Structure 1
Amino acid sequence: MKRWIWIVITLVIALSIGGYAFARHSQNEKLYTDAMQRGSLQISNKNYTAAETAYTNALKRKPNDEKASTILNQTQSFMSANDLFKDREFANAKSGYQSVANTKSGSELLKNRAQSQLTLIKTIQSNIKKYDAIYNQALNETGEGKYAESNSTLDKIFSDKSIKQSYYKDVLQKAEKLRDKNNSALNGSSSSTSNDFESSNSSSNSNTTNNPNVAPNKNASLTSSEKKAAANYKGSNEYTVTPSQKEINGKEITASQIASARKQISAAGIDSNAMSDQDVRNVIKGAHNSNESIGKYVKAHY
């Protein structure tokens, strides 16, 4: 009789433990599913920080879940690319969006948005290249004392319907600054303005090989390689960038790092003399963010 009672008690305990474990598992599955659905909804609403939190919570329920881990990483990459885009670091943002677009088994919505951003960046970079070519022509004309001709050239920038967009803020500011110098010269202080302008260019750009978009002093002569570098230059003025654009993880990119990167860029078949120091910094940052060597990165993006 006693043995029978113990058997019943044992069965009751076993069933209770099993039922508790099953209920706990079911609850955990429900919380995981809810978190995944919430993450998807937040991506749809463009609330990426909330989506990041949701997928993090999903991983707490299933620490090794590949789906949640993949979309979490994809979301974080998209957020990082968005930050770079807002800072007008278009080359680095492009790498980030490309990573999002290439993610397998991730969010299709994030892929589509990344592709749209890549298309937009392509347009922006094309326009910047066009504006820089116009600005460099105007800069040379100012250096030669042709202030009216320089203003006429700059009008091609000011009359473009896209120039007022925030993407081109740096280009617009330097064009307006050059126009102001031209106007000062045309209004009667041509000699002093010209000398001040050339002196400013000389002090801010002692090496025209590394900064070929800045017009040299009109009395200085260029070597054939320097002229080639100036003609081939497609970057932006490094003196208009923010401090963060000269750093990696909060540490400033040193001159020795830039010099080393130039050697690697040249070894990859790219003319590093046609790049400003900031262009080289962008390559260093892009390679770092993509976990690629400088040679591999520059071949793919330049």
Structure 2
Amino acid sequence: MNNGKYADACQKFQRVANVDSGSSLLVQRSSGLATELKEVIKERKIFLKAYKKAKMLSENYEYTASNTKLAVILGYGSINESYYRDVYNNSKKLKEYNDRILRSLGYTVDDDSTDANKTRSQKYSKNTKQDVFSGISDSAASAAESKLTDAQVKQARKDLKAQGLNEKAFTDEQVRQVILRAKHEGKSVKQVADEFK
């Protein structure tokens, strides 16, 4: 059972539980463990499916949606049991990754508790005052910004306006940062600016 072979263990417990002439205590314990393992197998399938979906969402840059899926796993009352340890550890790592990305994009990620047995609540709020290009050191960002021409900034403002965004809401420095982040992430200027409007 400790090796993660839950289905095999469940069958063995079920065999012991079905013995007619066996010790009643042993039969009772085996029956209880067989029932528990059936539940574990069912829950693991649900958790693995949720984790797979959360990972796919994260890979598609949908970090908030990914964290919502992970909340199903991390908020489960018995998630700290050894049966779920691998799923719990993978989910926790993915959530930490998502949170790190969200913070670098200017979102505030509030985690009400690190205890998985308590209800989790995550609030994401946009922080436009935070540096748009926070994933790179200040000196590297400054060097890259200085290489951008005024014509590039003007063109980016035109692109933002054409896409229906208020280009005047951004300072020249912020527009430069948006351009650099768009290049760095392989996105359009509008996609990056949308994240911070």
Q: What TM-score, normalized to structure 1?
A: 0.33
Question: Highest CA radius of gyration, 1 or 2?
Answer: 1
Query: Normalized against structure 2, the TM-score is what?
Result: 0.49
